[in-house]
A and B are shown apart, each in its own frame.
Chain A
Amino acid sequence: MPESTSVSSRRSLLFGAAAAVTAGGLLTACTSNEPSDKSDGGSKPADQPVADSKPGKQVTIGFAGPQADHGWLNAITDNAKDRAKKYSDVTLEATEGSNDTAAQIGQVETLINKKVDVLVVLPADGKALTQVGLKAMRAGIPVVNLDRIFDTPQAYRCWIGGDNYGMGLSAGNYIGEKLKDKKNAKVVELAGLDNLELTKQRSQGFDDALKNYPNIKKVARQAADFTVESGQAKMSQLLQAQKNFDALWNHDDDQGVGALRAIEQAGRDDFLMVGGAGALSAFEAIKSGRGVLKATVLYPPTMAASAIDLARALGQGKGIGGMAEFEIPAHVTLYSAVVDETNVDKYMSTGFK
Chain B
Amino acid sequence: MFETGSDILKTSTGRTLRSEEMIINMGPQHPSTHGVLRLELVVDGEIVVDVIPQLGYLHRCFEKHSEAMNNYQQVIPYCDRLDYLASMNMDWAYALTAEKLLNLQVPERVEYIRVIMAELQRIASHLVALGTYGLDIGAFTPFLYMFRDRELILDLFEMTCGARLLYNYIWVGGVSHDLPPNFIQKTKEFCTYFKPQIKEYNDLLTYNEIFIKRTANVGVLPADVAVSYACSGPMLRGSGVDFDLRRDDPYGIYNRFQWDVCVGKGEVGTIGDCWDRYIVRMREMEQSVRIIEQALEQISEGDVMSAIPKRIRPNAGDCYVRTESPRGEIGFYLVSDGSGTPYRVKARSPAFVNLSVCPEICRGYMIADVVAILGSIDIVLGEVDR
| A and B co-occur in one complex | no
Residues of B within 8 A of A (CB): none
